[in-house]
Copies of this chain bind each other. A is one copy, B any other.
Amino acid sequence: MESGIERRSGVALWRQIADDIRAAIGNGVYDAAGKLPTEAALAAQFDVNRHTVRQALAALARDGVVRTVQGRGTELLPRARVSYPIGARTRFSAGLGGQVAKAATRFLETATEPASEEVARALALAPQTPVLRLETVGAADGTALSRATHWFDAARFAELPAHCAQSGSITHALKACGVGDYKRLSTEISAAPASRTDREDLGLQAGAVVLLTTSVNADQDGVPIQMSRSRFAADRVTLSVRNAPESGDRDGNGDG
């Protein structure tokens, strides 16, 4: 049988199989039965030994995706992902409203540095202008969801770190710095295997995937005030783009 599993690829067979089964579950392949095929059937399907399948199922069980019972088989468990809205008024805690009991931002580190080329461009500053760098972890109900780095014009937002430490929220700290309201200008979304630091910061296992976003916020006058690079644990978060009834864009045919 066509298996499609790659050997010598740097990813163990059992992990490839686990990823495949996970994707199939996501596509609703097993929704009707509510359970997976037997280990023997999966072994035949992927053309591997049953032990290898068992290792894949054990990994899925560890992650709470399935549960397997001796004599019965392995059944699907209900999954829930937090949906994180991306829009003109994207904000962390408010965006999770209703989905989680407790959203919190933890501030890891603050530093002032000369702006890199990219940061300077995003914030419309001269290169090497001093910028404030803020490292944060966003968590919901005690589980880390995102790890982000934020940059601000150091001259304009010198007081920001103190306010952040006090209020525990960037939005509130910005308000204290005179930015009553702000808007998300753009968000670039990418994805990659979780790096070592991602795994440490977000408590992920090797082989996990992160959603990577680079975004820019602007104040009421349209002046960019904040550039952020965030890494979301992809198995815990979904990014959601909702288009307002009358917003116009100039892009490109739904064939994606």
Which of chain A's residues 182-223 have a Cβ closer than 8 Å to chain B?
Answer: 182-200, 205-207, 209-213, 215, 217, 222
**In the assembled complex, A70 has its CB within 8 A of some CB on chain B:** no
Residues of chain B contacted by A132 (CB below 8 angstroms): none
Given A205-B9, A211-B189, A234-B192, A252:B116 Cβ within 8 A: no
Given A182-B254, A188-B238, A254-B91, A206:B6 Cβ within 8 A: yes
**In the assembled complex, A166 has its CB within 8 A of some CB on chain B:** no
B94 and A16 contact, CB distance less than 8 A: no
A256: which of B11, B92, B242, B253 is its contact (CB, 8 Å)? B92
Chain B minimum-CB-distance residue to A22: B192
A186 and B253 contact, CB distance less than 8 A: no
A253 and B206 contact, CB distance less than 8 A: no
Q: Give the total of A residues in contact with B, Cβ under 8 Å.
A: 106
Given A9-B206, A28-B116, A242-B186, A89:B234 Cβ within 8 A: no
Chain B minimum-CB-distance residue to A212: B26
Of A93, A195, A200, A253, most buried by chain B (CB within 10 Å of CB) is A253
A230 to B253, CA, bound (A): 13
Given A5-B196, A23-B192, A193-B19, A232:B256 Cβ within 8 A: yes
**In the assembled complex, A86 has its CB within 8 A of some CB on chain B:** yes
**Protomer copies:** 2
Secondary structure class of chain A's binding surface, majority of residues: mixed
A228 to B228, CA, bound (A): 29
Chain B minimum-CB-distance residue to A6: B206
**In the assembled complex, A130 has its CB within 8 A of some CB on chain B:** no
**In the assembled complex, A76 has its CB within 8 A of some CB on chain B:** no
A26: which of B85, B138, B192, B242 is its contact (CB, 8 Å)? B192
A186 and B243 contact, CB distance less than 8 A: yes
Chain B minimum-CB-distance residue to A27: B229
A69 to B5, CA, bound (A): 32
A138 to B253, CA, bound (A): 11
Contact with B along A234-256 (1 / 0, CB 8 A): 11011111111111111111111
**In the assembled complex, A68 has its CB within 8 A of some CB on chain B:** no
Contact with B along A121-139 (1 / 0, CB 8 A): 0000000000000001010
